[in-house]
Amino acid sequence: MFTNADVASRFFHRVTARPVLALILSVVFFVTAAAGLPRLVKDTSVKAFIPQDHPALLADERAAEVFGLSDTIAIAITSRDGGSIFSPAALDLITRLSEQVAALPNIREDRVTSLATEASISGSSGAVDVLPYISQGMLTVADATESRARWRAMPPHVGTLVSDDETSAIVLAELIDSGLADQTYQAVLAFADAANSSKFEIHVAGPGAVSGFLGSHIDKDASKLQPLVFVLVLGFIYFAFRRFRALPGPLLVVIGAAGSSLGIMAWNNVPYYAITNALPVIVVAISVADAIHILSAYFQFRAQLPNESTRNLVIRAMTTMARPITLTTLTTIAGFVGIGAASIMPPITAFAWYAALGVALAWAFSILTLPNVLVLLRPGPSPAFESWGNNAPSGVGRILARIGAFSAANYATVLVVFAAVSAFAVYGALQLRVDRSQVDNFSADEPIRIADETINDRFAGTAFLDIIIESELPEGLLDHKQMQRIAYLQEFFESLPHVQKAIGITDYLDLLHRAIEDDSKMPLERRRLPTTEDGIAQYLLVYEMSGDPTDFEEEIDYDYQTALVRGILNTHYFSESRETVEALQTYVDEVFNDDTLTATLAGDVAVGYHWMSRLEQSHFVGVSLSLVLVLLTSILVFRSITAGVIAVVPVTFAVLTLYAVMGYAGIYLEPATSMFAAIALGVGVDFGIHLVERLREAYATHADDTAAAVDRVLPPTARACFFNSAALGCGFAVLFVSELPTLQRFGGLVAVAAVSSYVAALVIVPAFFAAESAIWHKVAEPSRKLLTYSVALLVLIGGSMLVASSTYASGFSAEEIARAVADRPEGQATRRVIDMTLTNKRGHSKQRRALVIKENRDLARYTRITYTEPKAIRDTAFLSHDYHNPSVSDSGWFYIPAQRKVRRVPASDRGDYFLGTDFTYEDIQSELKFDLKDYDFVYDGTSSAAGMTRHHLSGTPSSERVARQIGYGAFTAIVDESTWMPIKVEFLDRRQQPLKTIYVSKVENVEGIWTATDVQAVNHQTGHKTHFRFREISYPADLADQLFDPAALMRGISAAGTGAAR
Partner 1 sequence: MSKYAIAALLMFVGPMTLAGEIRDLSVETRIDYGYGPEPGESMQGILQLAPSLRVEFSPQLRLVAEGRIRLDVEDQLEPGRTRTDTYSGLSRPAVIGDLGTAEIRDAYIERSLDSGVMRIGKQQLVWGKLDGLKVLDVLNPQDLREFVLNEFGESRISLWSAYLDVTLGSWRTELAVIPDNTGHAIPAPGAWFELTAPRYRYGAAVGDPTPRIATHRHSIGSATSAYALRLSRQFGSVEAGAMAYSGVDFEPLGRLVIANGEPVVERYYERREVFGLHIENSFGPVALRAEAAFQPDRYFNTRTPVALAASPLDQYTAGLGLDIDGPWQTFINIQLLYDKVHDAPPTLIRPDEDRLVTVFASRSFSYESVRISARYYRSQQLNDEMVSLAVEFRLGDATEIRLAADSFSGNATGLLGQFSDKDRITLRLTHTF
Q: Report whether 232 contacts 730 (CB < 8 A).
A: yes
Decide if residue 1045 touches partner 1 (CB under 8 A).
Answer: yes
If DSSP codes are grouped into helix, strand and coil, which group holds residue 106? coil
Reference 209, options 48, 439, 47; nearest CA is: 439
Decide if residue 804 touches partner 1 (CB under 8 A).
Answer: no
Q: Considering only residues 531, 889, 992, 993, which one is a binding residue for partner 1 as defined by CB under 8 A?
A: 889
d(CA 787, CA 275) in angstroms, rounded, equals: 44
Decide if residue 801 touches partner 1 (CB under 8 A).
Answer: yes
Q: Considering only residues 220, 224, 481, 903, which one is a binding residue for partner 1 as defined by CB under 8 A?
A: 903
Decide if residue 1007 touches partner 1 (CB under 8 A).
Answer: no
Decide if residue 877 touches partner 1 (CB under 8 A).
Answer: no
d(CA 972, CA 935) in angstroms, rounded, equals: 12
Q: Considering only residues 194, 792, 823, 884, which one is a binding residue for partner 1 as defined by CB under 8 A?
A: 792
Q: Considering only residues 269, 550, 800, 1021, which one is a binding residue for partner 1 as defined by CB under 8 A?
A: 800
d(CA 464, CA 466) in angstroms, rounded, equals: 6
Q: Considering only residues 395, 666, 825, 906, which one is a binding residue for partner 1 as defined by CB under 8 A?
A: 906
Decide if residue 1042 touches partner 1 (CB under 8 A).
Answer: yes
Decide if residue 563 touches partner 1 (CB under 8 A).
Answer: no
Q: Where are the alpha helices (DSSP H) in 242-306?
A: 248-267, 278-304
d(CA 724, CA 254) in angstroms, rounded, equals: 14
Decide if residue 412 touches partner 1 (CB under 8 A).
Answer: no
* Binding segment (CB under 8 A) for partner 1, from list 280-288, 494-502, 735-743, 898-906: 898-906
Decide if residue 784 touches partner 1 (CB under 8 A).
Answer: yes
Decide if residue 907 touches partner 1 (CB under 8 A).
Answer: yes
Q: Report whether 838 contacts 853 (CB < 8 A).
A: no
Residue whose CB is less far from partner 1, 14 or 900: 900
Straight-line distance from the first to the last Cα atom of the chain, in angstroms, rounded to the nearest whole number: 66
* Binding segment (CB under 8 A) for partner 1, from list 364-372, 781-789, 939-947, 964-972: 781-789
Longest dimension (CA), the chain: 109
Decide if residue 787 touches partner 1 (CB under 8 A).
Answer: yes
What φ, ψ does residue 648 adopt, rounded to 5°?
-90, -15
Shortest Cβ 173–partner 1 spacing (Å)? 47
Decide if residue 859 touches partner 1 (CB under 8 A).
Answer: no
d(CA 777, CA 705) in angstroms, rounded, equals: 13
Helices and strands, number each (H, E), in the chain: 30, 25
Give 931-991 as a DSSP string.
-TTTEEEEEEEEEEETTEEEEEEEEEESSHHHHHHH--SEEEEEEETTTTEEEEEEEE-TT
Q: Considering only residues 239, 244, 558, 789, which one is a binding residue for partner 1 as defined by CB under 8 A?
A: 789
d(CA 652, CA 760) in angstroms, rounded, equals: 10
State the burial class of residue 531 (Cβ atoms within 10 Å of its Cβ: 0-12, 13-18, 19+): exposed
Shortest Cβ 775–partner 1 spacing (Å)? 8
d(CA 343, CA 69) in angstroms, rounded, equals: 30
Shortest Cβ 904–partner 1 spacing (Å)? 5
d(CA 409, CA 458) in angstroms, rounded, equals: 64
Question: How many residues in the shown chain lie near partner 1 by CB under 8 A?
Answer: 63
Residue whose CB is less far from partner 1, 358 or 911: 911
**Long-range contact list for 119-122, CB < 8 A, 24+ apart?**
119/547, 119/551, 120/150, 120/151, 120/153, 120/154, 120/157, 121/154, 121/508, 121/511, 121/512, 121/515, 121/543, 121/547, 122/150, 122/153, 122/511, 122/515
- Taking the mean position of all CA atoms in its chain, how far away is CA 432? 10
What φ, ψ does residue 928 adopt, rounded to 5°?
60, 40
* Binding segment (CB under 8 A) for partner 1, from list 401-409, 419-427, 537-545, 894-902: 894-902
Decide if residue 795 touches partner 1 (CB under 8 A).
Answer: yes
Q: Considering only residues 1024, 1027, 1033, 1049, which one is a binding residue for partner 1 as defined by CB under 8 A?
A: 1024
Decide if residue 603 touches partner 1 (CB under 8 A).
Answer: no
In this structure, the chain runs to a length of: 1062
C-alpha distances (whole Å) from 755 to each of 150, 400, 612, 624, 721 are 64, 14, 29, 21, 10
Residue whose CB is less far from partner 1, 799 or 811: 799
Residue whose CB is less far from partner 1, 142 or 802: 802
Q: Considering only residues 126, 870, 941, 947, which one is a binding residue for partner 1 as defined by CB under 8 A?
A: 870
Which residue type occupies 457? D
Q: Considering only residues 145, 788, 813, 978, which one is a binding residue for partner 1 as defined by CB under 8 A?
A: 788
Decide if residue 1021 touches partner 1 (CB under 8 A).
Answer: no
∠ CA 731-427-625, nearest 5°, is 70
Q: Considering only residues 39, 220, 242, 785, which one is a binding residue for partner 1 as defined by CB under 8 A?
A: 785
Reference 255, options 230, 225, 236; nearest CA is: 230
Residue whose CB is less far from partner 1, 345 or 1053: 1053
* Binding segment (CB under 8 A) for partner 1, from list 66-74, 173-181, 897-905, 969-977: 897-905
1046 Cβ neighbours under 8 A, 6+ residues apart: 879, 893, 902, 904
Shortest Cβ 837–partner 1 spacing (Å)? 12
Reference 984, options 414, 583, 395, 425; nearest CA is: 583
Q: Considering only residues 898, 933, 1008, 1038, which one is a binding residue for partner 1 as defined by CB under 8 A?
A: 898
Q: Considering only residues 395, 941, 947, 1052, which one is a binding residue for partner 1 as defined by CB under 8 A?
A: 1052
d(CA 136, CA 116) in angstroms, rounded, equals: 10
Residue whose CB is less far from partner 1, 898 or 1037: 898
- 737-776 footprint of partner 1 as x/- string (CB under 8 A): ---------------------------------------x
Q: Considering only residues 899, 959, 978, 992, which one is a binding residue for partner 1 as defined by CB under 8 A?
A: 899
Q: Considering only residues 51, 666, 916, 1059, which one is a binding residue for partner 1 as defined by CB under 8 A?
A: 916
Shortest Cβ 1055–partner 1 spacing (Å)? 4
∠ CA 487-491-493, nearest 5°, is 115
* Binding segment (CB under 8 A) for partner 1, from list 222-230, 557-565, 811-819, 903-911: 903-911
Q: Which residues bind partner 1 (CB under 8 A)?
A: 776-777, 781, 784-785, 787-789, 791-792, 795-796, 798-803, 805, 838, 840, 844, 846-847, 870-874, 881, 888-889, 891-892, 898-901, 903-909, 912, 915-917, 1022, 1024, 1042, 1045-1047, 1050-1052, 1054-1056, 1061-1062
